[in-house]
Amino acid sequence: MKLQKATRCALFAVLELASDPQRQLSATEIADKYSLSSNHLAKVLRDLGRAGLVESVRGAGGGYRFSGNAKRATLFDVIKIFEDIDADCLINPEPGDDTDIGQALCMAMQEIDSIARGTLMSITIQTLLKSIHWNRERLPQAETETP
């Protein structure tokens, strides 16, 4: 599964900010940490703001902070803002989808989509952040970056 650039930007920003909800970070600080385009990230942060996942803080030391519910918001909630996840061969049929082979391929793709959707809808922001600590405990020798 390959996510679009905007989606990856959004996930990095949401997870970085949610790792410390009291902290405010500028788009540039987040962009520098994850080697992202700060212009692109600024646009993504505006979309995340409209979705209620982050909020901008004005004034000195201002920036962005996480404003969602980390126990409830899932990876799916972030991804659906930027990806057309409902696009499938039933809703948006493409040439060939109405043939026997097209329909059989469609069923295979729907099976993959169903598992992907179930996975993304069940991983909350908090659980993903916790998994970083579990990975560190399980692989203490691995060099992992603090979010």
Binding site for other proteins (CB under 8 A): 71, 74, 114-115, 117-119, 121-124, 126-127, 130-131, 134
Quote the least distance from Cβ 127 to other proteins, whole Å.
5
Quote the least distance from Cβ 135 to other proteins, whole Å.
10
Residue 57 or 121: which CB sits closer to other proteins?
Answer: 121
* Percentages (nearest 5) of helix, strand, coil residues in the chain: 55, 5, 40
Quote the least distance from Cβ 4 to other proteins, whole Å.
23
Residue 50 or 72: which CB sits closer to other proteins?
Answer: 72
Angle at 131 between CA 129 and CA 135, to 5 degrees: 130
In angstroms, the CA 38 to CA 138 distance is 34
Residue 33 or 80: which CB sits closer to other proteins?
Answer: 80
Output Rg (C-alpha) for the chain, integer angstroms.
Answer: 18
Quote the least distance from Cβ 66 to other proteins, whole Å.
18
Identify any residues that bridge with 66 across adjacent strands, giving them in sequence order. 54
Cα 65 → chain centroid: 16
Residue 42 or 123: which CB sits closer to other proteins?
Answer: 123
Angle at 83 between CA 104 and CA 95, to 5 degrees: 35
